[in-house]
Amino acid sequence: MGKRCGRVSDHWVWCGGAFTDGRASRAVRGERARNVKSLSMDALDLMRVGPVIPVIVIDDLAHAVPLARALVAGGVRVLEVTLRTRVALDAIRAIAREVDDAIVGVGTITRAEHFQDAIDAGAQFGVSPGLTNQLIDAAQASRLPLLPGVMTPSDVIAARAAGFFALKLFPAQQAGGIGMLKALGGPFPDVTFCPTGGVTADSAPEYLALPNVACVGGSWLTPHAAVKAGEWKKITDLALEASRLRPTAART
Ligand code: 3PG
């Protein structure tokens, strides 16, 4: 299916979930493409790489590369490293440099300056728990593919008006879970979600069965104790299980 494209301002063209600079010369676009490894993938493409995007908290920089390798070995390639620890950006930098098959992004984007920090570290996409005008401007300026968080119909309307059609429902379970996503599917048939927050290995298949869900996010693939103990085989096993998850109709 062709990508939905349209000019959203004199400057920006929205195409299939990503902004392109309508005025940029080919040379400028090439330069930007070199700075961000995977500009050809937009947020929706990223959501379709696998059924689960792990939400990762890295406390110890030494864990970054083996953890990413363990997840990739289990078939989980799209990794969201949250900006919740002081080593997060260095962890992203190390993963981007050393784990070829990983597609590493930055999570917990809450400030405009996080976009440039993330790009400088080599992040290939961003995830935010919500969306503000400042974040919209920064996302457009940075051209980092962004998966923005929404929790209400008004949030969805605002995100869509800014050109975002691939959204993270956050916190998904607390927002109403499966029922909320079914309800949102009526007024917003053109929006695809990655529910995150309170999703588990058990509940993921029901989410994945919904027509407006492309993937789910969650922290269960990287339990704190296993990461701290360097139990990489355990992480790979959890990733294997996650990468094999398939949609299952809701239990009644
Ligand atoms: C988070 O922000 O920590 C994510 O939403 C993960 O939530 P979870 O721990 O419930 O999977």
Question: Per residue in 217-234, pLDDT tens?
Answer: 999 999 999 999 999 999
Ligand 1, atom nearest to 219 Cα: 11
State the distance from the centre of ligand 1 to the C-alpha of 198, rounded, in angstroms: 6
What pLDDT digit, counting tens, does each position of 52-83 carry? 999 999 999 999 999 999 999 999 999 999 99
CA distances from 17 to 27, 86, 87, 220 (A): 23, 30, 30, 27
Q: Which of 52, 55, 224 should be mutated for ligand 1, with most atoms under 8 A from CB?
A: 55
**Which one has a higher pLDDT value, 248 or 190?**
190
Mean per-residue pLDDT over the chain, rounded = 87
The CATH T-level fold of domain 37-243 is TIM Barrel (3.20.20)
- Catalytic-residue membership of 37: no
User: Which residue has a Cα nearest atom 8 of ligand 1?
Assistant: 197
- Catalytic-residue membership of 168: yes
State the distance from the centre of ligand 1 to the C-alpha of 59, rounded, in angstroms: 16
pTM of this structure: 0.84
- pLDDT at site 171: 98
Domain boundaries, the chain: 37-243
Q: Is the model's pLDDT at 142 over the cut of 50?
A: yes
Strand order from edge to edge, sheet including 166-169: 192-193, 166-169, 146-150, 126-128, 103-107, 78-82, 52-56, 216-218
- pLDDT at site 246: 85
